[in-house]
Structure 1
Amino acid sequence: MKKILAVICFCSLFLSTQAQDFNFGAITHDDYEFNKKTLDSNANAVVLREFGTATLQLDDATGRLLLMFNYHVKIKIYNKEGFNQANIVIPTYKDDSREELIKNLKASTFNYVDGKFVETVMDKKAVFTENRSKYTSLTKFTLPNIKDGSIIEYSYLLQSPNYFNFKTWEFQSDIPKVSSEYIAYIPGNYNYNVTLRGFNKLNEQKAELSKECLRLNGVTIDCSKMTYNMKNVPAFLEEDYMTAASNFKSAIYFELSDMQMTNGSKQSFTKAWKDVDYELTSDKNFGSHMKRKDVFKDLLPSILKNTTDELSKAQAIYNYIKKQIKWNSYYGKYSEENIKNVLENRSGNAAGINLSLIAALSAADLDAEAVIISTRDNGNVNKLYPIISDFNYVVAKVNIGEKSYLLDATEPLLPFGLLPLRCINDQGRVINLKKPSYWIDLKAAQKSVTNYALNGKLNSDGKIKGTITTTTLGYAAFNKRKEIKKYNSTDEYVEKLDEGLAKLSILKQEILNIDSVDKPLIETYEVEFAAHDGSNQNQLYINPFFINRISKNPFNLNERTYPVDLGAASDERISITISLPENYVVQEKPKDMGLALPSAGGRYLLQTNLTDNNLVLNQVLQFNKAIYAPEEYLYLKEFYSKIIQNQKTDLFLKKAN
């Protein structure tokens, strides 16, 4: 969702004015008495003021250019539900030689006591750092003495070696903001593409001249002081079924386009795809990895010994790579190790595994390509010009006859041709060693399918005893297999499943095709559960929605400005047949329903009847699209609401005289 695309221009600049920061600790009665109803009556906390600046400075000690980002915020907390705003997490990034640092951190809580504001300064011992991964650290702290009505304030300096993306500024967060202002000082010899994402408009955007803001190699450089201000910013509320929030939040993004060197030369960073293709195919951790067919020369005869055609060859190689190389849980479009080390260590990141898969497929004379993608949690890529940093993952593509298959060998429980849901995100760029790159849609190759079938009998003691058979395919089967594999055995999994079913007991079980991932996963359980307490057998109340009942609407916003992204279409069917004692008639039952979403987007069908002492319920819930537009949101909300309301109704059976 890119609303404005602009390139910084230095042709109409005005004289610089003082940055509009505010004094730390200058709490006023207006702050304390701020009426949240002017923004959002449901808010638990409100950002009263937020300010940031970003500049480039030369580090005299190392001679490196650093980005210096100052951040300052003041937040009003209204109730206990807003106390979590006092728990602060600041991510910083690092690699082998460079890392971001947090400096000059200060934080205080202000409470109004006996007619005056009392400040509680946070102890520096309350700050700690968590190493989230080898690439990410988290600076964490909690402000002290939080109460209803507290005002918290904190500020810090982030020192970063990464100025390619300058510093993103998010106008929106999970609470509303009265004012959010960002000032970026861009040296005149640096040219950035600047993008405003989201649905909210800037209240102020201006460019001014800041003289002699930087000195490089003895040359003084003027800056463009870019001011961005947004007022009365609504909270961004995340819901289920969405891709990265960064796709939709109102925020300013920067991408370095080119820079003028002090010697007069120019370096361009915005390239054509042909330049990116060459860089990737030449890179030792990407293209060179794909080319190493020789590594698999001696392995292929045993891998392919039972294959008869190209498809079975591709499947055998895919299964071999899945089995031989364990994913270390790191993403990446470049392999962390050369292909020999990946195979010898039997471990690698996503790129190491999938580039090895491509090399193995190519060694078998199959037409294999790489696809660089941005995962769902990483956001969408910029299609206007190549930005290699937008991509954070790579999968394989093999072309067999007229059909292509996208493969990711990081997940042993995924069937051939089905990508993990994290990879289903808009489009990827196909990288071929010999041909120009091109875009490809990233779509789920299969529906998520679940079928439940219960055949049971109501006994005189008020208990229903029977068999539930669950058959799953696609993502439903993948997720169920992952859950089962968390346990040491299927018995342990079933025991845990039984503990979580309050009114139902599992007596026996059988689970088929756990490791045969190209087949449906079939679970069969002999179960027993109470339909009534046996005190009045002339009248029975049964709620027939005891299998995967929908009790909560996933859509609760009055309006949603971003799509509902399920990742894949889905189909769920429930069939229940219960044999009843003779002479029962239906007095009340959930009404039969036939609901449909617009444009054949999905449907819900429900039918219950009593025939020959057999209570039969059939239910179908289908979503025929993976993505629903924002304007379809209210239809989805109402769709779920009607289903939930109907599933609250019990089935009332009465014995005939």
Structure 2
Amino acid sequence: MKTLRLLLILTVFVAKANAQTFTFGKVDTADLKLTYCDFEKGANAMVLFDVGKIGYSKTESVVMERHTRIKIFNDKANNEANIKLEYFSGYDAEQIKDIEAQTINLAGKTITVTPLDPKLIYNEKIDKMHRAVVFTMPNVKAGSVLDIRYTWKTGYGYNYPNWYFQGPLPSRYSKVEAHVNFGYSFNFVKRITQKLDVDTSYIAKGKAVSTHIFSMSKIPGFRPEPHMHSVADNMQSISFKPAFKFATWQSVADKILADADISGQPKFTFDKGPDIIANAKDIKNRNEKIAYIFNMVKNTMKWNRVDSWNSEDGLKKAWQNKTGNSGEINLLLYHFLKEAGIKASLLVFGTRNEGELEPENPTLSRLNKTIVRVPIDSATYYVMDATGKYNTYNTVPYSLLGVTMLIIDPEARKTDIIALKTTTPSAEAVLIDAEITTDGKLEGSVQKTSSNYKRISKLETFDRAGQQKYVANELKEGNLNAIITGHRFSGTETDTIPLREDFRFKLDLAASDSSYTFINPNLFTGLGKNPFSSDTRLTDIDLIYRNTYSINGRYKVPAGYKIEALPKSTTLALENKGITLRRSAGELDGVVIINYTIAFNKTKYSRDDYPELHRFYKTMYELLNEPIVLKKG
């Protein structure tokens, strides 16, 4: 009796799950009149629904029919009319076809439908392994509804597409219905932070197919959070992972090694190639030889800001143009090292922002960068990426720390999976020497030194921003009334010494009235604003590298003022000493001396750790910003 009852409940549940229907071109008038998103205030547009039905064709191809409808609320969202459907085109793995799209508008009581002209649909090459179908929806304005449907197809029966409930826009409803033929088996990996409306599986009587339905409602638009690991790994989604491994990382590596720019040995007969190799062979010291080749490639080639694990147009053309993607630059480095007699292997991976490779799921689809590894001894290696201006041959680039990678030894044809780590913390020291003027201002000098990854990060930030924006956005840290003069760097040419930064400043001090003046000692420290002030967190936290801060402030108190209150000496520690803060403060001969030492000893935290991390950061910033209080008279 219980079995019958459960079956009846399941039947009703599944019927409800499939009750909603979405007909292309048929739009509810209420949606045409809709002017805002009721669950995400201020949204410029929203996804009304996004539904997909996945199954198998008669030839065992996986086919997904997808139907998406978007509501435009105001002119700020008109760029949503530009549609780009990306897919993995390498080895003819995937394709997108049968595209239909139309824009629906309401003027008074009149509904107008503007279909997309098929001639305005273009297929765009992104790189050797990826393409995109691109088009612009017609007649889009505030109030428009965009209706789009298409078919995605792949010939490989286990290449089931992942389903992302979440995207940049808030979504009122998202549903995927997956039909899996007998003979295929998947594990479902759910990355979700809110409850699914429907999460059910069943086998219809007389059918050799299992059906799986997942749906979710009122999904907020995805917003990047401070120190987030990656977008792809944090958006709410369902992944379909083959229950049996038909591919291996070795078979993936074999496909990579079949690439002509990797398996072939380029003839460096072009533009100084022979000279570089000859000069390298003349260098007897192995480290100096590696450094010479690395720097020649890094300084010769300009990175075009595109990541790829392979070459787009061939290594010879990239070398001749002195410009290339990350794969081309690092493959050139690899071949130059080999020609000079240095054994090297390749590290292929998915970058942080795009979503890392998954060790349990061997596939090419997430791989988008190649770098080079050279053994130092039997246990240690140099990891080299010649795309970064400030990268060195003997320091792992900080953007790669903690990233899972596929090692490929082209000569031995061996593979392995590793995650790059470093035990060496970076450091930043700040020395502030200032005095309070009689007109209520604080002025003085600042000296900052940055080592290891902090050094590189700071120089890269300065290059991107330029002097003016760097001073305004990085140094001032929200102190908009600060006047900064004489800013300069020293030690930029030698990467083995700390980067030094000097400048002078003047700023108005806060005062409660004519009697009290407050000095906030958290000035020009690089710790200006609490990055974890939000009460909630949806993504994991990645601080990338260990870091220490030493902050030392000296504040001369003028005649006519006395010290009313000083921050007390204290120690604060996160559980297991993941982060520790020590503060000491005192007064000597009319000078307030305050010191902070902060050590970030752990780099990764899950979103489940966030409540504790949030509480710790709140207290830490209260201690950092606790003022020195002066009183006149």
TMscore range, shorter length: 0.7 to 0.9
1:541–1:653 CA contact under 8 A, matched in 2: yes
CA-to-partner distance for each residue in 1:147-177, whole Å, 9 max, x for gaps? 7xxx956332255678674533213346776
My pick for the range that moved more, 50-59 or 506-515, is 50-59
My pick for the range that moved more, 236-245 or 168-177, is 168-177
1:316-355 aligned at under 5 Å gives the runs 316-355=292-331
1:548-563 aligned at under 5 Å gives the runs 548=525, 550=527, 552-555=529-532, 558-560=535-537, 562-563=539-540
The amino acid that maps onto 1:502 is L
2:102–2:137 CA contact under 8 A, matched in 1: no
Which of 418, 433, 437 in structure 2 is aligned with 1:440? 418
1:570 matched residue in structure 2: 547
- Residue 422 of structure 1 and its aligned partner are, at CA, apart by 4.2
1:281–1:288 CA contact under 8 A, matched in 2: no
**Are residues 352 and 528 of structure 1, via their aligned partners in 2, closer, same or farther at CA, if it must alter by over 3 Å?**
same
| Secondary structure of the structure 2 residue equivalent to 1:239 | coil
CA-to-partner distance for each residue in 1:56-105, whole Å, 9 max, x for gaps? 7799xxxx989563313477x9x989979977754334869987467211
1:241 matched residue in structure 2: 227
Which of 480, 485, 503 in structure 2 is aligned with 1:502? 480
1:512 matched residue in structure 2: 490
1:242-641 aligned at under 5 Å gives the runs 242-254=228-240, 270-288=246-264, 298-303=275-280, 309-401=285-377, 402-432=379-409, 433-434=411-412, 436-444=414-422, 446-486=424-464, 502-531=480-509, 539-548=516-525, 550=527, 552-555=529-532, 558-560=535-537, 562-582=539-559, 584-641=561-618
Which of 166, 169, 174 in structure 2 is aligned with 1:172? 166
In the aligned structure 2, how far is the partner of 1:638 from the partner of 1:427? 30
RMSD after superposition = 4.8
| Secondary structure of the structure 2 residue equivalent to 1:247 | coil
2:201 matched residue in structure 1: 205
CA-to-partner distance for each residue in 1:389-412, whole Å, 9 max, x for gaps? 232211111111242121111112
In the aligned structure 2, how far is the partner of 1:138 from the partner of 1:451? 49
**Are residues 403 and 68 of structure 1, via their aligned partners in 2, closer, same or farther at CA, if it must alter by over 3 Å?**
closer
- Residue 331 of structure 1 and its aligned partner are, at CA, apart by 1.3
In the aligned structure 1, how far is the partner of 2:483 from the partner of 2:596? 23
Q: Which runs of 5+ in 2 are unaligned?
A: 1-13
Q: Which runs of 5+ in 1 are unaligned?
A: 1-13, 212-222, 259-268
1:128–1:141 CA contact under 8 A, matched in 2: no
2:581–2:597 CA contact under 8 A, matched in 1: yes
In the aligned structure 1, how far is the partner of 2:276 from the partner of 2:31? 74
The amino acid that maps onto 1:631 is D
2:298–2:386 CA contact under 8 A, matched in 1: yes
In the aligned structure 1, how far is the partner of 2:590 from the partner of 2:89? 69
2:327–2:371 CA contact under 8 A, matched in 1: yes
1:291–1:359 CA contact under 8 A, matched in 2: no
In the aligned structure 2, how far is the partner of 1:550 from the partner of 1:118? 56
2:22 matched residue in structure 1: 22
1:414–1:517 CA contact under 8 A, matched in 2: no
2:552–2:594 CA contact under 8 A, matched in 1: yes
- Residue 299 of structure 1 and its aligned partner are, at CA, apart by 1.8
**Are residues 22 and 448 of structure 1, via their aligned partners in 2, closer, same or farther at CA, if it must alter by over 3 Å?**
same
Percent same amino acid among aligned pairs? 20
CA-to-partner distance for each residue in 1:510-541, whole Å, 9 max, x for gaps? 311224333321111133334479x96x7533
In the aligned structure 2, how far is the partner of 1:340 from the partner of 1:140? 37
In the aligned structure 2, how far is the partner of 1:339 from the partner of 1:83? 41
In the aligned structure 2, how far is the partner of 1:587 from the partner of 1:317? 61
**Are residues 472 and 137 of structure 1, via their aligned partners in 2, closer, same or farther at CA, if it must alter by over 3 Å?**
farther
1:183–1:225 CA contact under 8 A, matched in 2: no
In the aligned structure 1, how far is the partner of 2:523 from the partner of 2:364? 49
The amino acid that maps onto 1:638 is R
In the aligned structure 1, how far is the partner of 2:125 from the partner of 2:590? 60
- Residue 602 of structure 1 and its aligned partner are, at CA, apart by 0.4
In the aligned structure 1, how far is the partner of 2:178 from the partner of 2:540? 31
| Secondary structure of the structure 2 residue equivalent to 1:157 | strand
**Are residues 549 and 348 of structure 1, via their aligned partners in 2, closer, same or farther at CA, if it must alter by over 3 Å?**
closer
| Secondary structure of the structure 1 residue equivalent to 2:264 | helix
1:369–1:396 CA contact under 8 A, matched in 2: yes
1:292–1:339 CA contact under 8 A, matched in 2: no
1:92 matched residue in structure 2: 86
1:215 matched residue in structure 2: none
1:132–1:138 CA contact under 8 A, matched in 2: no
1:154 matched residue in structure 2: 147
| Secondary structure of the structure 1 residue equivalent to 2:298 | helix
TM-score by length of 1: 0.75
CA-to-partner distance for each residue in 1:393-445, whole Å, 9 max, x for gaps? 11111111242121111112123344444434542111112152112112356
In the aligned structure 2, how far is the partner of 1:203 from the partner of 1:31? 30
The amino acid that maps onto 1:230 is S
In the aligned structure 2, how far is the partner of 1:419 from the partner of 1:578? 39
- Residue 350 of structure 1 and its aligned partner are, at CA, apart by 1.2
| Secondary structure of the structure 1 residue equivalent to 2:260 | coil
1:47–1:176 CA contact under 8 A, matched in 2: yes
In the aligned structure 2, how far is the partner of 1:557 from the partner of 1:492? 26
2:250–2:415 CA contact under 8 A, matched in 1: yes
| Secondary structure of the structure 2 residue equivalent to 1:203 | strand
2:434–2:444 CA contact under 8 A, matched in 1: yes
The amino acid that maps onto 1:105 is A
Which of 69, 73, 76 in structure 1 is aligned with 2:65? 69
| Secondary structure of the structure 1 residue equivalent to 2:232 | helix
**Are residues 242 and 451 of structure 1, via their aligned partners in 2, closer, same or farther at CA, if it must alter by over 3 Å?**
same
2:165–2:219 CA contact under 8 A, matched in 1: no
- Residue 590 of structure 1 and its aligned partner are, at CA, apart by 4.3
Residue 106 in structure 1 maps to residue 92 in structure 2: no
The amino acid that maps onto 2:389 is P
- Residue 598 of structure 1 and its aligned partner are, at CA, apart by 0.6
- Residue 587 of structure 1 and its aligned partner are, at CA, apart by 0.8
My pick for the range that moved more, 559-568 or 366-375, is 559-568
| Length, aligned pairs only | 599
- Residue 321 of structure 1 and its aligned partner are, at CA, apart by 1.4
In the aligned structure 2, how far is the partner of 1:619 from the partner of 1:84? 49
1:122–1:144 CA contact under 8 A, matched in 2: no
In the aligned structure 1, how far is the partner of 2:169 from the partner of 2:516? 51
The amino acid that maps onto 1:180 is S
The amino acid that maps onto 1:21 is T
Residue 229 in structure 1 maps to residue 230 in structure 2: no
The amino acid that maps onto 1:70 is R
- Residue 378 of structure 1 and its aligned partner are, at CA, apart by 2.1
2:10 matched residue in structure 1: none
- Residue 647 of structure 1 and its aligned partner are, at CA, apart by 5.0
| Secondary structure of the structure 1 residue equivalent to 2:51 | strand
